Structure 1
Amino acid sequence: MTLLPLCRIGAYDVHHPHVARNQAAKHSESGPVILTVTPNPSLDRTVELPAPLEAGRVQRAVSAVQHPGGKGINVSMGVHAAGQSSLAIFPAPDGDPLLTALEAAGLPVAPVPAASAVRTNTALVDPSGVTTKVNEPGPDFGPQDLAALTALVVKHSGRASWLVLAGSLPPGAPADTYPRIIRAVRAALGDAAPRIALDTSDEPLRAALDPGRAAEELPDLIKPNGEELALLAGVPSDGVEDAPPAAAELAADLVRRGIPEVLATLGGNGALLVTGHGAIHAVHAPVTVRSTVGAGDSSLAGYLLASLEGASPEARLRRAVAYGSAAASLPGTTIPSPGDVAEHAVMTHELTTRPVAPAPADRHA
C-alpha cells in the first residue's frame, strides 16, 4: 500500500489524502464538520442477479462491485461528495483494504488501531431491486477498544457541528455503547458539544432509547426505518412503511420520550420528519431501483447537509428524500453527489399527529 500524507491531530493519525501535514489546522478550521463514528465498518460487495434469488441453486451474477461501507462511513462519503467537511472514525488495522479504498476516495479518516481485518458484507440484488443482505459479524471489540474509540470521538467532537453514531456494534461491544459515547462527549464539551444523530437497529437501538435513559444520553436526531419504528413501539412491522400517518404517530411517541427529531425512512413511500412542531411526509417521483444498500445513509447525509445550511424542516426532509432516492437508483453502495440529486422531484405535505408537549428545542435555530 502506498502511504498518503497524514494530518496528525492530537495523539492519532488522521489519514487525509492530498493534504500536507501543515494543512491540518486549515481542515479543522474550514467550517462545520460532520463527524461520523462507525464501530463496525465493512467492505460492501453488491452482486446483481439476472433473476430472483433461488435458495440452493447456482446463479451467475450480472455484475459485482465493492465499495467502502458502514453506515457512518456512507454518511461521510455523501457529505464529502457535496464539498462539505467530514471526518470518519472507525476501527481498522494498518493496511486494511477499507483504508486503501477510503484513501483513494479522498475521504479524511481517523482510524482507531485494531487487531483484525474489517468485515465484508454482501448484498444480492435481483432485477426488481429486492435485496438480500449477508452481513459478517465483525471482529471482537473489547473494553480497551471502546475506550480508545470514545477518546478519539471526544477529541474530534469539539470542532463538529454534527456527530453521527451509526451502524451495528461489533461482537463484544456493550449494547449501550452509543449512550456511553454520547454521555462522554457531552460531559467533556458541555454546551460546545455537537448535535448528535443516531442510526442503528436491534438491541443497540433499544438500549439507546430505553425509557429510563437519562436526557444527557439521548441523541438529538434518530433515523429509523419502518421496521425500527415498529421495534421501538413494540408493534408488528408489517405495513408500517405503507402507512405514513400511522408511522408518524409511532415517531411522535419517540418525540414525546425526549427525542427532538425523528427522520423515519419508509422505503418506496419516502420519509417522515417528526419534531415537537409537527410531522411532514415527503415522497419522491418513481425511480428505477438498482440497490437500496446505503439509501438510508444517503438520506441522513442529505438531511445533515441541509441542516448545515440552516434549512427549514421541510427543506431538510426534501433533501433527505432526494438523496435517498438518488442512492437507490445507483448501483451497489454508490453514494450520490449533488449532481445525482433531484430535489424538485420530491413532494411534501404535513400530517396530523396527537400534540407533542412540551416540544423539545429545535437545535437548528
Structure 2
Amino acid sequence: MILCVTPTPVLQRAARISSPIAPGEVNHFNDVGITAGGTGTNVAYALYLAGQSALALFPAPQISHYMRLITEMGLAHDYIEVPGPIPMHSAVIESDLTTTEFRDPPMPLDSHQLAMLRDKTVAAAEHHQSVLLTGPLPIVATHGWYSDVLRSLCLYHPNKKVSIASTGPALQAVLRQVGTIAPHSVMCHLEDIATWARSDVEELRSHILAEPESSASELARTCQPLLDAGIHTLLIGIDRRHSLLLTESMSALGRYTGTPGYMSIPWRDSLVAGFQLGVCEDAPCAEQLRLAVAFGAAEGDSLHSFMPTKDGARCDQVEIIPL
C-alpha cells in the first residue's frame, strides 16, 4: 500500500469547448466536471481505480466540498484539519486538446499546520510500503519542506521507499541535497532538469523530438550525477507523448505513437499514476515506463469523471527505445 501526500489539494474543474476560446465573447462548455484533486489525490484515485491500495493524505477543512467529493469517490484518505479554503484549478480543453488553465493561489498553510502534516506523514508511513510526496508547496512553506520530510522519514523508517513527484523550487531544493539525502525515485518535468542542469528547456525539447535517441542519450548522461548520488529511478516527462526513464540498470525513452485523449486531470499526474501502478505491480522497468506513457496519453473514463484507467491506457501504442 502506498501513501500519497498532497500538501496543496485543489478542486479541479475541467470543461470541453468545441471551438477555440473567444476573448470577449460567450464561450459554451460541455462535459463540465469538478473533482477533488492535487497530484497525490489524483495518483491515489487512479491507483484505486486500477485495483491497488492507496491512501491519500492532505490538509483540508472537515466540512467542505473537497471532503464531500473525496467521500463520493470512495478513496481511502486521512487529513489534517485546516480552515482552508481549497483553491480551484479550472481547465478549458479545446478539441485539439489545447488547454487553458486558471489557477487560484495555493492553500495558505502556516508553519504549525505544515509541521502537523509532516508528523502525520511520518506516523502514517509506519503502515505503508512506500511514500509518495507530490505537487507544489503551500505559499508559506520553505522550499526545503520536502527535504525536511524526507529526512524525518529516513530517520524513523529507513527501509521505506520515498518518492517525490514535484516541480519548481521545491524539487530543486531536493535535487541540491541528493549528496546528503536522496529519495528513492524522482518524477519531474523536463523544465526541472533544464533548471538543474542550467540548460534551455525549449532547446532540449526540440532536440529530443528531432533526434530522439541521440538527444535522450545525451540527457541521460547529463542526469547521471543524480543517479550516482543515490536516486534509484528518475522519470522525466518531456511532453504528453514522450518520457524518459533512467535507473541504475537501464535508460529508455517512451514514445506514444497514437493520439492522446481527453482527460480531466493534468497529464503529468496521470503519468505519475501509471508509473506508480507499474511499481505497485512489480513490473519490469520498461513496463513501468510503458504504463506511465500510456496513462499520460490515455482517454479518461467518462464513468469516473474522465479519470485515466488501466482499461483505457493503450500500452500497445507505446514504443520503448532503449538508450
Task: Kindly provide the amino acid, as one letter, of the partner of residue 311 in structure 2.
Answer: G
Distance 1:68 1:119, change over 3 A: same
Question: Structure 1 unaligned runs (5+)?
Answer: 1-32, 352-365
Is structure 2 residue 222 aligned with structure 1 residue 253? yes
Query: Helix, strand or coil for the counterpart of 1:250?
Result: helix
Is structure 2 residue 283 aligned with structure 1 residue 317? no
Task: Kindly provide the amino acid, as one letter, of the partner of residue 307 in structure 1.
Answer: V
Match of 2:171 in 1: 205
Distance 1:213 1:333, change over 3 A: farther
Match of 1:53 in 2: 21
Query: Helix, strand or coil for the counterpart of 1:228?
Result: helix
Q: 2-side partners of 1:308 and 1:76: how far apart? A: 12
Question: Structure 2 unaligned runs (5+)?
Answer: none
Contact 1:255 1:261 in 2 (8 A): no
Q: CA RMSD in A?
A: 2.2
- What is the TM-score of this pair, normalised by structure 2? 0.90
Q: 1-side partners of 2:184 and 2:163: how far apart? A: 6
Q: 2-side partners of 1:86 and 1:329: how far apart? A: 20
Mean CA deviation greater in 276-285 or 53-62: 53-62
Match of 2:127 in 1: 159
Query: Helix, strand or coil for the counterpart of 2:85?
Result: coil
Contact 1:293 1:332 in 2 (8 A): no
Q: 1-side partners of 2:240 and 2:166: how far apart? A: 20
Contact 2:7 2:59 in 1 (8 A): yes
Deviation at 1:213, TM superposition (A): 4.6
Q: 1-side partners of 2:289 and 2:57: how far apart? A: 26
Deviation at 1:252, TM superposition (A): 4.2
Contact 1:270 1:281 in 2 (8 A): yes
Q: 2-side partners of 1:221 and 1:248: how far apart? A: 20
Deviation at 1:84, TM superposition (A): 1.0
Contact 1:48 1:127 in 2 (8 A): yes
Deviation at 1:73, TM superposition (A): 0.5
> Number of paired residues?
315
Q: 2-side partners of 1:317 and 1:200: how far apart? A: 18
- What is the TM-score of this pair, normalised by structure 1? 0.80
Task: Kindly provide the amino acid, as one letter, of the partner of residue 222 in structure 1.
Answer: V
Distance 1:201 1:57, change over 3 A: farther
Contact 1:74 1:294 in 2 (8 A): no
Deviation at 1:66, TM superposition (A): 1.1
Deviation at 1:289, TM superposition (A): 3.1
Distance 1:343 1:221, change over 3 A: same
Match of 1:19 in 2: none
Distance 1:328 1:321, change over 3 A: farther
Q: For residues 21-60 of structure 1, what are the structure 2 equivalents within 5 Å?
A: 33-60=1-28
